[in-house]
Amino acid sequence: MIGKGFFVTLEGVEGSGKTTQAALVADALRAAGYRVMVTREPGGTRAGEAIRAIFLDPAVSLHAAAELLLVLADRAQHVREKLKPALATGEIVLSDRYSDSTVAYQGYGRGLDLKLLEELNRLASDGTRPDLTIILDLAVETGLERTRARVRGDVRGPDRFEGEQVEFHRRVHEGFLTIARDEPERVMTIDATRPMAEITARITDAIVAKTALAR
């Protein structure tokens, strides 16, 4: 943990509900008197949002290495401009994706070297690691169906990852499960098919309990 803040990341496959839960959990924590900042990767800063537009655009051809370097550039800026200052002032920071997504998507999904990713993530993150990571676990097929329902009728269509083949998403899913198995003290897995309010309550309770222990 950095300063007096508490860093929480929400992770999962496409359609797992991370963005929705980030907003709901933030509202619940604020109602309980906590100061909370919600952010996302890629994105979260002006530079990050520009990177995000390229990173997710399926019309822009990207080699896996270029894809990786874009998201790492985003993280380097995000950590230094936004995450570390917020944590230093004692805020709870909720990030919709962080370094575990890089391992799952670019490592397990794209097949890039996991040891290399570990070193590059360390550089980009400046040693900033989550205090708690929530993986919203969902069957790949269910998540993709949710995604298709969301983008149906949207002229932009699916983004770079939403449009990937199901086998890619299965590799990503296995990556998240492996991370959860390897780091049980940091990572909490929640069934993303449970009722929305139940998921929000479980995440909120976990954060409150861990922040109390950390103080």
Residue 150 pLDDT: 73
Angle, vertex CA 177, rays to CA 55 and CA 171, nearest 5: 50
Identify whether 173 is part of a domain: yes
Q: Answer yes or no: is pLDDT of 1 > 50.
A: no
Q: Work out the pLDDT band at 2, boundaries 50, 70, 90.
A: very low
Question: What is the pairing mode between strands 92-96 and 6-11?
Answer: parallel
Q: Answer yes or no: is pLDDT of 3 > 60.
A: no
Among the listed residues 121, 105, 113, 117, the one whose alpha carbon sits nearest the alpha carbon of residue 162 = 105
What strand order describes the sheet that includes 6-11?
36-40, 92-96, 6-11, 132-137, 187-191
As a whole number, mean pLDDT of residues 36-64 equals 96
pLDDT mean across residues, the chain: 94
Identify whether 113 is part of a domain: yes
Q: Answer yes or no: is pLDDT of 181 > 60.
A: yes
Domain count, the chain: 1
Identify whether 152 is part of a domain: yes
Q: Work out the pLDDT band at 152, boundaries 50, 70, 90.
A: low
As a whole number, mean pLDDT of residues 60-83 equals 97
> How far is it, in rounded angstroms, from Cα 212 to Cα 215?
6
As a whole number, mean pLDDT of residues 121-126 equals 97
Domain span including residue 125? 6-214
Identify whether 148 is part of a domain: yes
The dihedrals phi and psi of 130, each to the nearest 5 degrees, come to -65, 145
CATH code, domain with 25: 3.40.50.300
Identify whether 1 is part of a domain: no
Each as own residue / partner, the long-range contacts of residues 202-205 (CB below 8 Å, 24 or more positions apart, any chain) are 203/10, 203/21, 203/25, 203/134, 204/25, 204/28, 204/29, 204/32
Q: Answer yes or no: is pLDDT of 21 > 80.
A: yes
Identify whether 78 is part of a domain: yes
Among the listed residues 212, 214, 176, the one whose alpha carbon sits nearest the alpha carbon of residue 18 = 176
Identify whether 111 is part of a domain: yes
